[in-house]
Structure 1
Amino acid sequence: MKKLIAGVVLGVGLTAMAHGAGDPEAGEANAAVCASCHGEGGAKPIMGAYPKLSGLGEKYLYRQLVAIKEGDRQIAEMTGLLDNMSDDDLQDLAAYFDEQNMGVQQANPDLIDEGAALYRGGNLASGVPACAGCHNPQGKGNEPAGYPRLGGQNAEYVTKQLKAYRDGERNTGQNAAIMMDVAAKLTDSEIEAVANYISGLN
């Protein structure tokens, strides 16, 4: 009986962890302000330099929203937008966007082979690890670890973020040190190739 109870408690706990703490329906009510830049459901940003928010992972999205609200991650376009939102509001927003579908784009075929090699196997010579190790071979991310989904993300946005990590401009959050170390070893051409591959990955 004790084993059964322990199993139920563990199962419920893991389910809660898997689904996160946010309320997607409540999040949808606050998501209208986001649509002007990120598109309906966060799936179609108006500019390639803006990220798709759809399906990124609730834990990752929540951490980024908190960092932006607290000023730890500076994004000029986001200034003041989250000021009146509570922690629950941010969790709900993260849950809402995580439930939306990430559309996949058409990658440049000329860069796919180089990008695929980097994403799947890294670069042994320069010490770049495979992106797939943390972000999943299909680019689906790792929700328990808070690693975001990458597959389908805008290539221009991925390029911008990898360069920001490399230049030390994006240095906040639990996993920033990992990404800064990886990006420091990437050349501009490698960043372009892997960002292109990611945009069409599913």
Structure 2
Amino acid sequence: MLRVSSLFAALILSVSAVQAAEPGKAPTVDLAKGKEIMQQCVACHGADGNSSATIYPKIAGQHAEYLYKQLQNFKVAPGADKALRENAVMAGFAAMLSDQDMRDVSAYLAAQKQTLGQAQNKETLALGEQIYRGGIAEKKIPACAGCHSPNGAGIPAQYPRLGGQHADYTAAQLVAFRDGVRRNSEQMTAISLKMSDKEMKAVADYIAGLR
């Protein structure tokens, strides 16, 4: 999930703060501050964003724009009854972060290198590959690769990196979209509603091995 870490490395070189060349076009981010904030996330996500527990996502190397949006979505927006993503732990954490904090930690994580993963279930590998690369025509489910790219790199600011992600986490998110617990992507909600548990687990396992 194009490697954002390479982009950030090229931009920051040896400094800890990055600013767009054109003032006002993009906010300044402080990677040193982002690293400091990340210390609060170590228990679940690891020091560098590579979680060891499969129920927690790897967030190292994820697109900064995507991470920033997710942190926003854990907060209850003005006038809303509940957050677009419901998670008691993340809601509490996000509530403590300012907008600048969210940008800083997102930029820091995007600059980290994600560890590789691998598919575990040989019996469902073919099904997972079929769904990811070709979709499910009879259910009008599009290929995941169309948005998340053939190698799972995603598209910065639009679609998240998926490749190498823990299968347990990916499958859980598909269920969350289907069950309405996660409501921050109408596209993913519509897709997940058409998928069986077997299909979700198969494609999640296949995604874990993408690189």
Q: How many residue pairs end up in the alignment?
A: 183
Distance change >3 Å, CA 90–CA 167, structure 1 → 2: same
For residues 179 and 79 of structure 1, what CA distance do their matches in structure 2 show? 21
Q: Contact conserved, 2:178 with 2:192, CA < 8 A, in 1?
A: yes
Output aligned runs, 1:190-201, within 5 Å. 190-201=199-210
Aligned to 1:165: 177
> Does structure 1 residue 133 correspond to structure 2 residue 142?
no
For residues 95 and 24 of structure 1, what CA distance do their matches in structure 2 show? 6
Counterpart amino acid of residue 120 in structure 1: R
Q: 2:111 aligns with which of 87, 99, 112?
A: 99
Which runs of at least 4 in structure 1 moved beyond 6 Å after TM superposition? none
Which runs of 5 or more structure 2 residues have no equivalent in the other structure?
Answer: 1-19, 77-81
Q: Contact conserved, 2:33 with 2:104, CA < 8 A, in 1?
A: yes
Output aligned runs, 1:145-160, within 5 Å. 145=158, 147-160=159-172
Output aligned runs, 1:66-145, within 5 Å. 66-70=72-76, 72=83, 73-108=85-120, 109-145=122-158
Q: How far 1:56 moved relative to its partner? A: 1.6
Q: 1:58 aligns with which of 40, 55, 64?
A: 64
Q: Contact conserved, 1:57 with 1:148, CA < 8 A, in 2?
A: yes
For residues 40 and 208 of structure 2, what CA distance do their matches in structure 1 show? 25
Q: Percent identity?
A: 39
- Quote the RMSD (CA, aligned, Å): 1.9
Q: How far 1:69 moved relative to its partner? A: 3.2
Which runs of 5 or more structure 1 residues have no equivalent in the other structure?
Answer: 1-10
Q: How far 1:62 moved relative to its partner? A: 0.1
Please report the TM-score for the alignment, with normalisation by the length of structure 2.
0.80
Q: Contact conserved, 2:86 with 2:181, CA < 8 A, in 1?
A: no
Distance change >3 Å, CA 36–CA 66, structure 1 → 2: same
For residues 29 and 144 of structure 2, what CA distance do their matches in structure 1 show? 28
Q: Contact conserved, 2:115 with 2:164, CA < 8 A, in 1?
A: yes
Counterpart amino acid of residue 187 in structure 1: S
Q: How far 1:106 moved relative to its partner? A: 2.4
Distance change >3 Å, CA 24–CA 186, structure 1 → 2: same
Distance change >3 Å, CA 39–CA 120, structure 1 → 2: same
CA displacement, residues 105-134 of structure 1 (integer Å, 9 cap, x when unaligned): 221222221111110110111111000011
Please report the TM-score for the alignment, with normalisation by the length of structure 1.
0.84
Counterpart amino acid of residue 93 in structure 2: L
Q: How far 1:81 moved relative to its partner? A: 1.9
Counterpart amino acid of residue 123 in structure 2: D
Q: 2:41 aligns with which of 34, 46, 67?
A: 34
Distance change >3 Å, CA 77–CA 144, structure 1 → 2: closer
Task: Identify, as 1 or 2, the structure richer in helix.
Answer: 1
Q: How far 1:12 moved relative to its partner? A: 5.2
For residues 28 and 155 of structure 2, what CA distance do their matches in structure 1 show? 17
CA displacement, residues 119-170 of structure 1 (integer Å, 9 cap, x when unaligned): 011011111100001111100011032x110001110001100011112221
For residues 189 and 144 of structure 1, what CA distance do their matches in structure 2 show? 30
